[in-house]
Structure 1
Amino acid sequence: MNFFKSIALGAIVALGLASGASANPNQLTIELKDGPVVIELMPDVAPKHVAQIKSLAEKGAYDNVAFHRVIEGFMAQTGDVQYGNMEKNFQPEMAGMGGSDLPDIQAEFSSVPFERGVVGMARSQDPNSANSQFFIMFAPGRFLDGQYTVVGKVVSGMEFVDKIKRGDDANNGSVTDPDRMIKVTVGK
């Protein structure tokens, strides 16, 4: 590639990024109180779940949603858009029991292991009940492998995930005055 073509290509890329063009449509950024967390979503592993998360994020449904269940050495759970929005409808006693106005999703189990930084979908006892809630692993949880749907992995900002306020061990990780996802965006 000659010098002028190289400069022209660089200018096109810079212009695209400056105009708000999506750098990666499968990248989810969660703004936390301590900094941004970037998650690489895995549509090849869980296409229906990833599509639902992206749809909710694009509508702003995850903004201000609490980390309602956070267990030291295990995971931080969030995403209850029905009861967990700390600006609109926060019901701490119900947080973790709701979903969204979108339908539940059939399980998309895979061989991707639950390691530190992996993001999985929360669900009830029914494997096909995932909706909007998800969790980020603090440590490996291989007992979840093949039982919960993996949707992505933290690629930067795990140090900010580690600072999320922990819940009460005696109350299954329920958090009083929880931290929240301030803003969630796709492809930025």
Structure 2
Amino acid sequence: MSFTRRAFIAASIVALSFIGAGSAYAEDPENTLLLQLKGGEVAIELRPDLAPKHVEQIKTLVREGAYDGVAFHRVIPGFMAQTGDVEYGNLDKGFSAARVGTGGSKLPDLPAEFSSEPFVRGTVGMARSQNPNSANSQFFIMFDDGPFLNGQYTVVGKVIRGMEAVDAIKKGSEANNGAVTNPDKIIKAVIEADKK
């Protein structure tokens, strides 16, 4: 067998192994969160294997329509974009600039589900207060790697498509802890399995 033929066969095997590996991680519509932003659609792979309680709570809130119209109230360039305050952050009804970021939902706070999953660009984590067991509805999407967050916040997923729309979210002032004037919002949130 010629070297060229052997090289082609070896390259084909490698390519097929990648295709096979990719199919093992096929998108699960029941655990894919779709966020419609002004810059386009963002698809987030939710990770119930890492944080089953947090993922279930997010899915419940999405299915109630609780995230629709909710602001990205804290957006720090090079760090992250935070949203999900369904109590005080809804730009379509009852937005409170003074209180946004302090609210949650009518559902209970959750016990921490920390894991060894690292905070890298595109990671979605749950926001919380000083109390590790205080995450409720707010979450953030990483613009860049944040190893200082590893093991300190619950990872619930990762952006698998549409990171350019996340990058386009209106940024806040670093001097004011990322607070955003006239912030962007989640236009619509849906679990892919429910998409009509």
Q: 1:155 aligns with which of 155, 160, 164?
A: 160
Gaps of at least 5 residues in structure 1 are 1-22
Partner of 1:49: 54
Q: 2:188 aligns with which of 154, 172, 183?
A: 183
- Residue aligned with 2:165, SS: helix
Partner of 2:97: 92
CA apart distance, 1:93:
1.3
1-structure distance, mates of 2:43, 2:151: 24
CA apart distance, 1:169:
1.2
Structure with more of its chain in helix, by fraction: 2
Partner of 1:110: 115
Q: 1:143 and 2:148 equivalent?
A: yes
CA apart distance, 1:24:
1.0
CA apart distance, 1:99:
0.2
2-structure distance, mates of 1:45, 1:87: 32
- Residue aligned with 1:180, SS: coil
CA apart distance, 1:32:
0.2
Q: 1:133 and 2:133 equivalent?
A: no
Partner of 1:35: 40
Q: What is the count of residue pairs matched by the alignment? A: 167
2-structure distance, mates of 1:138, 1:129: 23
Deviations 1:21-52 (A, max 9, x none): xx610000000001000000000000000000
Gaps of at least 5 residues in structure 2 are 1-27
Runs of 4+ in 1 over 3 A off after TM superposition: none
CA RMSD, Structure 1 to Structure 2 (Å):
1.1
- TM-score in terms of structure 1 length: 0.87
The higher radius of gyration belongs to: 2
- Residue aligned with 1:25, SS: helix
CA apart distance, 1:80:
0.0
- TM-score in terms of structure 2 length: 0.84
1-structure distance, mates of 2:175, 2:145: 22
Q: 1:59 and 2:64 equivalent?
A: yes
1-structure distance, mates of 2:83, 2:39: 17
- Residue aligned with 2:29, SS: coil
2-structure distance, mates of 1:93, 1:144: 26
Identity %: 67
- Residue aligned with 1:154, SS: strand
